[in-house]
Amino acid sequence: MGTDVDIRDELIATVRRFVEKDVLPVASALEHADEYPAAIVATMAELGLFGVTIPEAYGGLGLDLLTYIGVIEELAAGWMSLSGIVNTHVMAANLLKMQGTEDQKQRWLPRLATAEIRGCLSLSEPDAGTDTSALKCRAVRDGDEYVITGTKTWVTNGQRAGLIALAARTDEGITCFMVEKEPGVDHAGGITVSKNIPKLGYKGLETVEMAYDGHRVPAECVLGGEAGLGRGQHFILSALEVGRINIAARSVGVGRAAFEAALQYAQQRETFGKPIAQHQAIQLKLADMATKLEAARLLTQSAARKKDADERCDVEAGMAKLFASEAAFEIATDAMRIHGGVGYTTELPIERYYRDAPLMIIGEGTNEIQRIVIARGLLARHPLE
């Protein structure tokens, strides 16, 4: 039997081969067409990627977060949108794994592990994004059911998802509900997928607005059962730590793809009788790009290790997300500059990296918020005596 490191390396190598064979040849065409990659997603399900962190007892691979971020880096290096298709699903599964009752785990985790149903996270609202305390979506108890009313936005995979981790306000406070939905249906019960939000990048998967108009769910859908009432904000903020580590891993993937493209092009393109890689101006850029990329990867791995060890990692996840996302955007920008005019065309994926990178600066809490989270965490850890 192989060690955990062997299993991790084998899976990551498998995903890299899959990306090289099935993703890279078609990614730009699918992205420009904003076309959902159904065949690619089916292969991802066959590889077990939707169950990567779900325990083996529930049909998943049961692997650690360090393995997961390695998988995410490979997917993002091929096409960043694929990492988004997996991530919200994994966040919903992790919420169940960490906070669900045993009945809830038995009910949903095996189906999530095989991607029979896909999961998503529904937190943001038109007037409540980063400020989770301002949520207006309401769930009112009515006997053995809750009646949910409100509007959610920025729901990645919302249309195709069959299970939604939904934050709503109850009498006890913010509560997380696991809401079942028929995948691919825009209107069912009291749920309406009302708007697909067009985006600069991050194409090929849906980001939607969803309206809940008196939608009824059984009381047993409260995450964690009765003990979970009013604890949804705590549950979801903990899940967002994994989301931020995921964003950092995506950033490493996009940054790596942009850097490798620039490194290769700089040795092929000649000006003034020699490859531009021999010009000092280009060498300085390549050195900075490589250094930022390595630092971003190490910060991401450090945060993942702390989370795997069940240690507090709000500061570390914020640092990884902040640094890696800024690094990815800077690397993508420098890659375009090294490529010159051809980098600005749609013939090469450089322009895609440039459009995808800003999402990581904004997603899972803007970097302005990350700086505040990091600072508050540091002050709480190091108070004056």
Bridge-based pairing of strands 187-188 and 191-196 is antiparallel
Q: What are the structure tokens assigned to 213, written together?
A: 């108009």
Q: Locate tokens 């794994």: which residue?
A: 97
Q: Is 173 left (phi over 0), alpha (psi -120 to 50) or beta?
A: left
Looking from the CA of 358 toward its CB, the CA atoms found within 13 Å total 8
Residues contacting 144, CB < 8 A, separation 6+ = 218, 219
DSSP state letters, 160-178: T-SEEEEEEEETTEEEEEE
SS3 243: helix
Set 311, 364, 368, 385: catalytic member: 364
Q: CB–CB of 216/146 below 8 Å?
A: yes
Contacts of 352 by beta carbon, 8 Å cutoff, 6+ apart: 27, 28, 31, 201
Tokens of 301: 């791995």
The helix-helix angle for 232-268 and 280-308 (nearest 10°) equals 150
90 contacts 98 by C-beta, under 8 angstroms: no
Q: Is 385 an active-site residue?
A: no
Tell me which residues are annotated as active site: 364
